[in-house]
Structure 1
Amino acid sequence: MSGPSVRLYSVAVVCLLLITGCASSREEIPAPVAPPESFSDSGDATMPDKWWRAFDDDPLNQRVDRALGSNLDLRVAWQRLREARAVLDRESASLFPDLDANADAETRRGSERGSDTEQLQLGLSSSYEVDLWGRIGSRVDAERFRLQASYADYQTAALSLSAEVTRTWYRLMEERSQLELINNQIQTNRDVLRLIETRFGSGQTQSADVLRQRQLLESTREQKLTIESRIQVFEHQLAVLLGKPPRSAIDQAGRSLPELPPLPETGLPVELVQRRPDVRRAHNRLRAADAALAAAISNQYPRLTLNASVSTRENDANDLFDNWASAFAGNLVAPLIDAGQRDAEVARSRSIKQQRLFEYGQTILTAFQEVEDALIQEKKQRRRIESLEEQLRLADATYEQLRLEYFNGVTDYIDVLNTLTDRQELRRNLLSAELELLEFRIALYRALAGGFDTGRETGELSHNE
């Protein structure tokens, strides 16, 4: 290519790139719903980015860290993120000229000896579509926003995984506490049965009392089977969450639930919108749809393609580089009739943008709801636990009173049995209620949490934000 042609090509590319930059700019899309001024309640404690560490439970921390590194579903989300980056790189390549090289060699044999001829050819060709109206830039922007949405997807998956591991860990812990409690209740019922059998042997009670107590003992044994089954199910769930086969050995969990940490500071609703990865995902999907709409609109306008080439052709390799020919051309293509295809694509893209806008608004509303739900559930659950503790205190007192009256022959055993059954059920319900309170706190942490570093991000995706 000659000097003037090169300069003309370069100037044209630079100028039109400036035009492209102006054509592809778009305004920020405001949130479709207005956030409330504040949440209904808030604490003073600072919640760490890795929220589960607020429980100060080292065995739990180890398991969550292991899950973040080994869980297969999270690895799938990571590969989707890498796929999105590759798509962005592919689309971004359209912003730059293509350069191709070619080389041909041909030998022609003549009818006479020594009349063979060789022809050699070398060449370079380049083509570049000028992004006059921002079509290519808008497509690249759409993929960039989709990459950011994929990154938020990955953060959401990591956040959900951490919550699921934490819930499963404490459910396993609660079931083991239930198993210890039910073993104690079985022993209590067995001791009471021996006392009643002794009284029956001396004619101080009826056989029905013995049968009723045996039924209660068998009922508690049956409940133990159910608890043992749930323990194994939670162990299987936890193993799979950690990326291991279901029957893998799980280290023993503790037998008492942790004390609930102080209520975290909820912050402002507008800060939650900026922090939560699922909201950021919905926002970036909306921005991607907006960029795709801009690309569809730009596709209705003419396209300008610049082509440049340089080549040489000689019969002798020694003379191959002596003579060069160059060419520079521009091709302008304007759509005239397409039976409404481009208009239909614009209408489709506009509809998708509206869908993403409403999805974005619904995600914001759901985020606010999850925080408020967790706050009110925890508040009411605390009162419920206080009520259960009071009921248990009364049941203990009632049982001791009726038991004394029964052995003194003042009351029937059916009253003692009913009170004993209620008392044991209340103890089991209290353990379950304490787990529910812990799960409401987990839900609050999950609702308030933002994204966190899982260990894969550093040095891997430099332009995911």
Structure 2
Amino acid sequence: MKKSGCLLIAALMTGCAYTPSDPEGQKSKAQPDVFDIYTQDGAGVDIAENWWSVFNSEGLNALMVRLADSNLTLEEAALRLQRAELILRQSQADNIPDITVSASGRSGKAFDTGTESNSTSGNVGVSYTFDVWGSREATQLGNKLSIDSQQFSRRSAALQVQGLLTSEYFTLLSLEQRLAIAKQNYEAADQLYKLVDIRFQEGDASGIEVSQQQNTMISARGELLRLNYQATLSRRAIAVLLGDETLTAISGEEKLLSFVLPDIELYQPAAVLKQRPDVQIADIALKQADIDVYLAGIQGLPGLSLSGSLSVSDLLDLASGWSVSAAISSAATLFDGGRIDAGKKIADVDLALAWNNYRATTLSASQSLLDSLDNYAYLKAAYELDVASMENNARLYRLAEIRYKAGDIDFLNLLSAQRSWFSAQLSVITSYQQTLSAAATIYQEAGGKPELVTL
């Protein structure tokens, strides 16, 4: 009988350990076919922590330093990571036996005899539950994965707020440059108004032409008012991103057109998708669901607990009254009305949901990355056309102004050339700002580091 009991205990102690059931090769099936021909070895692909430096902007670099120190979203992500680390530390305490110490004392007096009694006792207990089936190991692995998930969540939050700050900074610089152009336009319109008024006084221009130029000046003033308003909102948005409770406005001193457009490869390798935080988080969720399936499968199996104690019956007389005890126990569930079986089925469904989420996340990430690449290529081409249009309209306006002063064309032709030139200047600034923002979006969609064109 003793031999059988020892064999049972030995079998329980050896138990089994958690082994992941999801083969890594399965995940490649979630890779969209469009990336297959671009698949490369992703061993050398890492995440650029300062991806915004590609734009060569000292102002943006300085803002990013402030963002890292004071952004509230990043602070929350750091606290969530700290919480996950503490949960792991808490679960790892189960690897060490529990030790308890207790002491008690009692005094009494009998009313009929007046006899007094006093007693004291002490006890030191040790208990430990063996991880027979690897449940504790699997739980701690799940907690480690939670830390990884929070790290990627923190990275995702960083990419999001960095992208917002970059885009907002580009917008602010665009607005300030458009304001400068709008002021120049207003001054040019005012000069032209004076020229038309002189010709009107000399009888060479009509009152309609004077009124038309006055309307142009009114529109220019309205544009100045609108741009000033939008710049105020942009500065306030940047202050909020920087966690500035005073909402102190900043001003951009850089020229938008001095920024460098990165030469991004339009065909990215599949490994780029794997560095995206959302794909990594979906992968971790899949692993955690697999752990839950294992934990549900070992529910109800016999466990093994060992406890022991050392006690003394009289703390005032440590030379006697000592005793020691030990106990070993094991219990298994024989009937629970189907609770454990239902738990296994729920875990299987959760695993299927996690797998579906992984595939959906990968597919959505692929679409977003491809869309951002196409958008960047389109905006770069559109910007080049806008530059050509601005240069052409500048030549037309200069020629129209010369011919108008010589009396070769009427005022409407000059006015049309002037408006076209003003509009073309603003379009170039807006177009470049959109192209820069599109480049920043690619860095976000690529998890911080897209492949660049190599010469």
Q: Check 1:214–1:227 CA distance in 2 against 1; reply closer, same or farther (3 A cut).
A: same
Query: 1:424 Cα shift?
Result: 0.8
Q: CA deviation at 1:19?
A: 2.7
Are the counterparts in 2 of residues 174 and 431 from structure 1 also a CA contact under 8 Å? Answer: yes
Counterpart residue number, 2:56:
56
Aligned equivalent of 1:179: 179
CA deviation profile, 1:30-62 (whole Å, cap 9, x unmatched):
31413523559xxxxx99541111222222112
Q: Which residue of 2 aligns with 1:333?
A: 332
Task: Pick the aligned partner of 2:384 from 362, 372, 386.
Answer: 386
Residue 388 of structure 1 and its aligned partner are, at CA, apart by: 1.6
Corresponding residue for residue 19 of structure 1: 15
Give the conservation status (yes or no) of the 8 Å contact 1:55–1:258: no
Partner residue of 1:455? none
**Selected match of 1:342 from 321, 340, 343:** 340
- Which sections of structure 2, spanning at least 5 residues, go unmatched? 40-45, 450-455
Q: Taking structure 1 as reference, are residues 346 and 400 closer, same or farther at Cα in structure 2, changes over 3 Å only?
A: same
Q: Distance in 1 between matches of 2:196 and 2:324?
A: 113
SS at match of 1:306: strand
In the TM superposition, residue 234 of structure 1 has moved relative to its aligned partner by: 1.3
Contact 2:189 2:216 in 1 (8 A): yes
Take 2:9 and 2:20, find their aligned partners in 1: how far apart are those partners? 21
Is residue 122–residue 315 contact of structure 2 (8 Å, CA) maintained in 1? no
1:49-448 aligned at under 5 Å gives the runs 49-111=49-111, 115-245=115-245, 247-264=247-264, 269-299=269-299, 301-315=300-314, 317-319=316-318, 322-338=321-337, 340-448=338-446
Q: After superposition, give the CA deviation of every residue in 1:109-153 in whole Å (9 maximum; x if it has no partner).
A: 234777322222222333333333333333222222122111110
Amino acid of the residue matched to residue 432 of structure 1? Answer: T
Q: Work out the CA distance in 1 between the residues paired with 2:57 and 2:349.
A: 48
Deviation of 1:211 (Å): 1.0
- Aligned partner of 1:19: which letter? G
Contact 1:47 1:264 in 2 (8 A): no
Look up the SS of the partner of 2:256 in the other structure: coil
TM-score, structure 1 length as denominator? 0.84
Partner residue, 1:34: 31
- The answer as to whether partners of 2:12 and 2:304 remain within 8 angstroms in 1 is no
What per-residue deviation string (whole Å, max 9, x for no partner) do you get for residues 79-127 of structure 1? 1111112222233333443332221111122347773222222223333
Distance 1:76 1:118, change over 3 A: same
What is the CA-CA distance between 1:17 and the residue it aligns to? 5.8
Contact 1:275 1:449 in 2 (8 A): yes
Deviation string 1:61-81 (CA, Å, 9 cap, x unpaired) is 121011011101110011111
Q: Secondary structure at the match of 2:122?
A: strand
Cα distance in 1 for residues equivalent to 2:320 and 2:57: 74
Check conservation: 1:313, 1:320, Cα contact below 8 A: no
Cα distance in 1 between the residues matched to 2:385 and 2:315:
102
1:287-314 CA distances to partner (integer Å, 9 max, x unpaired)?
1121122212222x32324141314242
Aligned-residue offset at 1:254 = 1.4
Query: d(CA) in 2 for partners of 1:151 and 1:203?
Result: 76
Q: Find the counterpart in structure 2 of residue 456 from structure 1.
A: none
Distance 1:177 1:263, change over 3 A: same
- How many angstroms does 1:419 deviate by? 2.5
Deviations 1:142-180 (A, max 9, x none): 222122111110111112222222222222111111111
Conserved 8 A contact 2:389-2:424: yes
Worse-matched range after superposition: 155-164 or 171-180: 155-164
Cα 1:376–1:153 shift into 2, 3 Å: same
TM-score by length of 2: 0.86
